Structure 1
Amino acid sequence: MNSLVKLELARTLRNRKFLFFSVLHPALLFLIIAGNADGTTELDGTGLTLPAYIMVSMASFGALTAVLTGNSERIAKERESGWVRQLRLTPLPGRGYVLAKTASAAVAGLPSIVVVFAVAAAVKGVRLDAWQWLALTGAIWAGSLVFAALGVAIGYLASGDTARPVTMVVYFGLSLLGGLWMPATTFPWWLRDVARWLPTHAYAALGRSIEQSHAPQVQDLALLAACFALFAGGAAWLYRKDTLKA
């Protein structure tokens, strides 16, 4: 499995378009959305400045981009090209393939988190304690595993032709409705109720709780754990189903 992870990472690092959108694009969006906001004025209802609030959103968005879009379409195309069938002839177990895809995608998402943090600190003067920076990095990186599993599931659910549009609908829907592009506090009341039950909303809430030096809410942790179990379980079931067809 380690060899497969290394192979997947090498393929990802050679994809310049993917690196731009997953690593540089979130940092550029951070600068655009933060605009001329200073580091002292707090965003209503959050207790955080706008740059600090948007920093977590864009770091989460960058990790989401890397793990979700990087997995789904590639897996769908590998299934159609016969690459997955060839891997089944090796000693690699089915769960090893799913875990390797999830792990490699999560590692690829780490640079986007670091770059957004670096830009926020250097350009917008976001200041946190050392433990908060480390905890933020760990929480956002670990939380991205939820969406990496979702990417694997979509890759087995969709065909090579439909994987990209299906992924884009899920990707933009979760990002927008989960409050990654704009504060969920600005949503109408009914949309705020919807956002609370989306994994992207709980994902970003983990980071903001660290910024506020608060413990994460149990509801957010439970929602992310449930979604990970659902997505990983779905990916495993779809993999077994795909194996029976081969």
Structure 2
Amino acid sequence: MKTLVALEIKRTLRNKKFMFFTVIYPSALFLMIAGTAGRTALVPHTDLTMPLYYTVAMASFGALTAALMGNSERIAKERERGWVRQLRLTPLPGRGYVLAKIAAAAVATLPSIVVVFAVAAVTKGVRMDAWQWFALTGAIWAGSLVFAALGVAIGYLATGDAVRPLTMIIYFGLSILGGLWMPTTAYPQWLQDIAGYLPTHAYAALGQAIEVGDAPHARDIALLAGYLALFAGAAAWLYRKDTRRA
């Protein structure tokens, strides 16, 4: 299994197009969105400045991209080409393939997080204590496992032709409604109520709590844990279903 994990990580890091969208794209969005905002401009109804808000939002968006987009499409394509069927003929346990995909996605999230942090510090003067930077990195990285599990589930649910449009709908829907592209305080109240139950909203809230010096809220942690159990359970069920079909 270690060999497959190493192979998956190398394949991910060598994919220049994928690494562009997971590393450069979130940082470019940060510059476009937060670049015109003043360093002291506050997000309405919060204690966060716009640069601080988008530091977490874009780092989370980059991690979401790496975890969700990479897994879903790659798994669907490999199922279609018969690669997954070939792996089932080897001694590799079924969970090994899934864990390899999650591990590769987890490694790919770290560069996106670090680059957004560096861009925010250099261009917008974002400053935090050392413990906050480390805590933010850990929280965003750990939270991305929720979306890695979702990516695996989508990869086993969709066909090779349908996986991209399905993933894009979920990807942009979660990003926009969850507050990664703009503060949810700008939404109508009914939309804010819906956003409060989305995994991306709880995901961003982890980092926002750390930015103001607080511990992440128990509700956000519980919500993410629930979604992780849901997505991982769905991925496991779909994997077993796909195995029986093969």
TM-score by length of 1: 0.98
Identity of aligned residues (%): 73
Question: Deviation of residue 109 (structure 1)?
Answer: 1.1
SS of the residue 2:223 aligns to: helix
Q: Which runs of 5+ in 2 are unaligned?
A: none
Aligned to 2:225: 225
C-alpha separation in 2, matches of 1:217 and 1:22: 27
Q: How far, CA to CA, are the matches of 1:199 and 1:41 in structure 2?
A: 27
Instruction: Write the distance in 2 (CA, Å) between the matches of 1:169 and 1:2.
Output: 33
State yes or no: 1:182 paired with 2:193. no
Indicate the residue corresponding to 2:194 in structure 1: 194
2-structure distance, mates of 1:73, 1:141:
21
Write the mapping of 1:142-161 to structure 2, written as runs, cut at 5 A.
Answer: 142-161=142-161
User: 1:42: how far off?
Assistant: 2.3
Equivalences for 1:32-71 in 2 at 5 Å?
A: 32-71=32-71
**Counterparts of 1:213 and 1:4, CA distance in 2:** 40
- Give the gaps of 5 or more residues in structure 1: none
| Contact preservation (8 Å) 2:156, 2:239 | yes
Which residue is 1:98 aligned to? Answer: 98
**Stretch deviating more after TM superposition (155-164 or 36-45):** 36-45
Structure 2 equivalent of residue 164 of structure 1: 164
**Could you tell me which residue of structure 2 aligns to residue 16 of structure 1?**
16
In structure 2, give the amino acid aligned to 1:3: T
Is contact 2:45–2:185 with CA below 8 Å preserved after alignment? yes
- Shift in Å, 1:84: 0.4
Which residue of structure 2 aligns with residue 214 of structure 1? Answer: 214
Q: Distance in 1 between matches of 2:19 and 2:97?
A: 23
Q: How far, CA to CA, are the matches of 2:189 and 2:42 in structure 1?
A: 21
The one-letter code of the counterpart of 2:191 is L
Q: Over residues 48-90 of structure 1, what are the superposed CA-to-partner deviations in whole Å (9 max), with x where a residue is unaligned?
A: 1100001100000000001100010110010111100111111
1:41 is displaced (CA, Å) by: 2.8
Question: What secondary structure does 1:42 align onto?
Answer: coil
Conserved 8 A contact 2:9-2:103: no
- In structure 1, the partner of 2:86 is 86
Cα distance, 1:217 vs. partner? 1.3
Distance between the aligned counterparts of 2:233 and 2:65, measured in 1? 21
State the Cα deviation string for residues 91-125 of structure 1 (Å, max 9, x = none). 11111211111111111111000000000001100
Q: Distance in 2 between the 1:2 and 1:64 partners? A: 24
Q: CA shift at 1:45, angstroms? A: 1.4
State how far apart, in whole Å, the 2-side matches of 1:139 and 1:10 are. 24
SS at the partner of 1:48? coil
Whether the 8 Å CA contact 2:195–2:201 is kept in 1: the answer is: yes
Aligned equivalents of 2:159 and 2:23: distance in 1? Answer: 27
Distance 1:88 1:69 in 2: 24
Q: How many pairs align?
A: 246
Spell out structure 1 runs of 4+ moving beyond 3 A.
Answer: none
What TM-score do the two structures reach when normalised by structure 2?
Answer: 0.98
- RMSD of equivalent CA atoms: 0.8
Q: Which amino acid aligns with 2:106?
A: A
- CA separation in 1, counterparts of 2:64 and 2:36? 26
Cα distance in 2 between the residues matched to 1:209 and 1:54: 13
Give the drift of 1:185.
0.7
Q: Which residue of 2 aligns with 1:110?
A: 110
Question: How much does 1:9 deviate?
Answer: 1.2
Distance in structure 2 (CA, Å) of the matches to 1:188 and 1:36: 24
**Distance in structure 1 (CA, Å) of the matches to 2:17 and 2:172:** 18
Aligned with 1:25: secondary structure?
Answer: helix
Task: Determine helix, strand or coil for the equivalent of 2:7.
Answer: helix
